């Protein structure tokens, strides 16, 4: 038995897929254009990013990044706690706290590190972390790293949450309920009022990861907690800058004492370099634009609604809620990969998703920057290949 046996087994699987459709993961983008992305020397309409507000190539955001590069250089060259803390990080924290209506914020280098740091520093071995079965991997990894007991409840099901919390109500430690505001692979919104009410009844603390809702949903894009009027009832909110905020990085928002505690104890913060000046400045510029141009989130959601109704009309099985994300479900992995290839060849970039990430599907995400022409192009591409992938018998199963 060698450490590398699993690599050989994986390679055999990957080769089968590559021979059938090419490599569906890590497809390189040569450059972005106003119309989308150029890949393999061909233009593609981009329905595979998380650039929900269409700000990732906005001239104002790009200029903010360039100015920061010129002013501070390329790198912070160390952890914020040692030498990498910029006034820019603290300005961003103050504006995030104000925007999301929380007393304090702490900026991390990525969204993944935010969740890892928050959960691993806030929870202990005697605590129980109760997660929605579909929460993002970064939350699960953080919970596991903390040593706490991790239990899951059925997706967005308040009754099942109550059942799991009751089963652990006698344990000595604390209870933490962890959910996403918007589920990345389902495109649906968590029923936060019901979930928060159940958590409160059991005396549990609540964390909402709003990576996909922040900047998009709620008043002026204040996120899923604001949309549902529960921002003050949710104890901790985490966000990422890699989606609506057109950059890379993340933040936790909450009570000043808790945020200060994490500032000094979250290992993914202490032992990793600060986000770069350009990334931080770009996120700050995007946040300011998001506040003043709330139509952007609304447009992204409206585009997804139009896309979904067109796809459903062709017989595709589409899932998602009032968000910019929709998923088209398929029977098995191979169908997903074949559909991904066919749609890509028809000029549209989407994301193939297979187990263990989620059941087989193509993930599509809309942005405020999409035009009528982009949507038509996507719908035309799916229509052209529908005969090969829409199985009317699926509905009967
Ligand atoms: C729900 C959720 N949380 C956290 C993250 C991690 O964020 P980042 O990619 O910015 O590190 C992601 C990214 O995919 C996500 O979808």
Q: Is 138 in the pocket of ligand 1 (CB under 6 A)?
A: yes
| pLDDT for res 397 | 45
Question: CB of 280 closer than 6 A to ligand 1?
Answer: no
Ligand 1 centroid to 8 CA: how many Å?
29
111 lines ligand 1 (CB under 6 A): yes
Residue 356: asked if its preceding bond is cis (omega within 30°), the reply is yes
Pocket probe for ligand 1: among 112, 208, 213, 239, the residue whose CB has the most ligand atoms within 8 Å is 112
The alpha-carbon radius of gyration of the chain (Å, integer) is 21
How far does residue 379's CA lie from ligand 1's centre (Å)?
A: 27
The domain defined by 19-53+294-396 carries CATH number 3.40.50.300: no
Point out the ligand 1 atom lying closest to the alpha carbon of residue 50: 14
* Alpha carbon nearest to ligand 1 atom 10, residue: 111
Name the token pair of 61.
């955001």
Ligand 1 contact, 246 CB (< 6 A): no
User: Coil, strand, or helix at residue 324?
Assistant: coil
Q: What pLDDT was estimated at residue 392?
A: 59
Strand order from edge to edge, sheet including 361-365: 317-319, 325-329, 361-365, 351-353
Q: Distance, CA 2 to ligand 1 centroid (Å)?
A: 33
> How high is the pLDDT of residue 23?
87
Instruction: Classify residue 225 as exposed, middle or buried by CB count within 10 Å of its CB (0-12, 13-18, 19+).
Output: buried
59-292 CATH: 3.40.640.10
pTM for the model: 0.96
Q: Over its length of 397 residues, how does the chain's per-residue pLDDT go in tens digits? A: 899 999 999 999 889 889 988 888 888 999 998 778 999 899 999 999 999 999 999 999 999 999 999 999 999 999 999 999 999 999 999 999 999 999 999 999 999 999 999 999 999 999 999 999 999 999 999 999 999 999 999 999 999 999 999 999 888 899 999 999 999 999 999 999 999 999 999 999 999 999 999 999 999 999 999 999 999 999 999 999 999 999 999 999 999 999 999 999 999 999 999 999 999 999 999 999 999 999 999 999 999 999 999 999 999 999 999 999 999 999 999 999 999 999 999 999 999 999 999 999 999 999 999 999 999 999 999 999 988 888 755 654 4
Binning the chain into helix, strand and coil, the percentages to the nearest 5 are: 45, 15, 35
Report helix, strand or coil for 232: coil
Contacts of residue 43, defined as CB under 8 A and 6 or more positions apart, other chains included, come to: 33, 35, 36, 37, 347
Q: What is the pLDDT of residue 396?
A: 46
User: Bridge partners of 207?
Assistant: 178, 236
User: Which one, of 108, 103, 88, 99, lies nearest residue 289 by Cα?
Assistant: 99
End-to-end CA distance of the chain: 42
List, by residue range, all CATH 3.90.1150.10 domains of the chain: 19-53+294-396
250 lines ligand 1 (CB under 6 A): yes
165 vs 173: CA distance, rounded Å:
12
Q: What is the DSSP string of 183-195?
A: -TTT--B--HHHH
Phi, psi of 275 (to 5 degrees): -60, 150
Residue 40: CA count within 13 A, CB half-sphere: 12
Half-sphere exposure of 161 (CA within 13 A, CB side): 30
Give the sheet arrangement for strand 149-153, strand by strand. 104-108, 250-254, 236-240, 205-209, 175-180, 128-132, 149-153
Structure tokens at 214: 């922040």
Which string of DSSP letters, residue by residue, matches 91-115? Answer: HHHHHHHHHHT-SEEEEESSHHHHH
Residue 211 in contact with ligand 1 by CB distance below 6 A: yes
Which pairing describes strands 149-153 and 31-33: parallel, antiparallel, or unpaired? unpaired
């Amino acid at each position: 038995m060698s450490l590398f046996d699993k690599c050989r087994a994986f390679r055999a699987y990957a080769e089968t897929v590559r021979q059938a459709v090419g490599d569906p993961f890590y497809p390189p983008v040569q450059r972005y254009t106003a119309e989308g992305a150029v890949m393999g020397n061909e233009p593609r309409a981009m329905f595979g990013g998380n650039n929900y507000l269409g700000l990732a190539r906005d001239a104002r955001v790009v200029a903010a990044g360039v100015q920061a590069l010129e002013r501070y250089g390329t790198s912070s060259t160390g952890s914020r706690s040692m030498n990498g803390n910029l006034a820019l990080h603290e300005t961003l924290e103050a504006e995030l706290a104000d925007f999301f209506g929380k007393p304090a914020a702490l900026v991390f280098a990525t969204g993944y590190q935010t969740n890892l740091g928050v959960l691993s520093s806030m929870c202990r071995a005697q605590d129980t972390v109760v997660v929605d079965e579909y929460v993002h991997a970064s939350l699960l990894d953080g919970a596991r790293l903390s040593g706490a007991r991790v239990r899951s409840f059925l997706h967005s099901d308040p009754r099942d949450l109550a059942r799991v919390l009751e089963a652990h109500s006698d344990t000595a430690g604390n209870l933490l309920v962890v959910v996403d505001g918007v589920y990345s692979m389902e495109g649906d919104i968590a029923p936060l009022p019901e979930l928060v009410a159940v958590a409160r009844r059991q005396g549990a603390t609540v964390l909402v990861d709003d990576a996909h809702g922040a900047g998009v949903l709620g008043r002026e894009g204040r996120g899923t907690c604001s949309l549902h009027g529960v921002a003050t009832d949710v104890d901790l909110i985490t966000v990422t800058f890699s989606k609506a905020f057109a950059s890379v990085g993340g933040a936790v928002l909450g009570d000043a004492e808790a945020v200060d505690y994490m500032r000094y104890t979250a290992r993914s913060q202490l032992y990793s370099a600060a986000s770069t000046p350009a990334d931080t400045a770009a996120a700050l510029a995007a946040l300011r634009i998001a506040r003043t141009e709330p139509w952007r989130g609304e447009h992204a959601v409206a585009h997804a609604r139009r896309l979904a109704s067109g796809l459903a009309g062709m017989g595709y099985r589409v899932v998602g809620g009032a968000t910019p994300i929709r998923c088209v479900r398929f029977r098995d992995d191979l169908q997903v990969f074949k559909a991904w290839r066919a749609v890509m060849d028809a000029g549209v970039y989407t994301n193939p998703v297979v187990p263990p990430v989620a059941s087989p599907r193509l993930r599509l995400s809309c942005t405020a920057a999409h035009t009528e022409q982009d949507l038509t192009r996507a719908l035309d591409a799916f229509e052209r290949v529908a005969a090969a992938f829409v199985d009317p018998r699926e509905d009967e199963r």
